């Protein structure tokens, strides 16, 4: 699958994201292909399950930044909502927000792994 097709499937604004990478598609592809190996989603899952507010905020914030830089807008928005809930002392909202994030994350990983 080419990167533009992948971008359409995962809701990435290809043009904006490519600009962030100085128009270098090879560099964008390189960093996208690293995303599935990043441990922040797993760290977030562990922290949410353990009701660890500090760990949840840390992992969600890092995932948000990574997703934002890669143009993974759905993951960015979900991670941002988790950060907002923790910061607002509304940790009870985190589990449902994490449930919204999970299929978005899995789709992105699945599609990214198919980029050639």
Give the pLDDT confidence score for residue 113 in this predicted structure.
97
State which residues of the chain have pLDDT below 70: none
Q: What is the CATH code for 3-112?
A: 1.20.120.160
Give the pLDDT confidence score for residue 10 in this predicted structure.
94
Tell me the domain boundaries of the chain.
Answer: 3-112
Residue 13: HSE in the Cβ half-sphere, 13 Å Cα cutoff: 9
pLDDT digits (tens, 9 = 90+) for 51-81: 999 999 999 999 999 999 999 999 999 999 9
Give the pLDDT confidence score for residue 7 in this predicted structure.
95
Considering the entire predicted model, what is its pTM?
A: 0.93
Q: How many CB atoms lie within 10 A of CB 10?
A: 21
Cα 107 vs. chain centroid, distance in angstroms? 11
């Amino acid at each position: 699958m080419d990167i533009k097709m992948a971008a359409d499937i995962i809701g990435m604004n290809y043009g904006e994201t490519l600009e962030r990478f100085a128009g270098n598609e090879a560099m964008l592809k390189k960093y996208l292909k690293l995303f599935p190996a990043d441990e922040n989603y797993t760290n977030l899952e562990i922290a949410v399950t353990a009701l660890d507010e500090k760990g949840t905020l840390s992992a969600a914030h890092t995932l948000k930044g990574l997703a934002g830089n890669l143009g993974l807008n759905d993951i960015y928005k979900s991670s941002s909502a988790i950060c907002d809930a923790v910061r607002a002392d509304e940790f009870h909202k985190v589990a449902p927000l994490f449930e919204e994030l999970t299929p978005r994350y899995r789709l992105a990983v699945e599609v990214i792994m198919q980029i050639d």
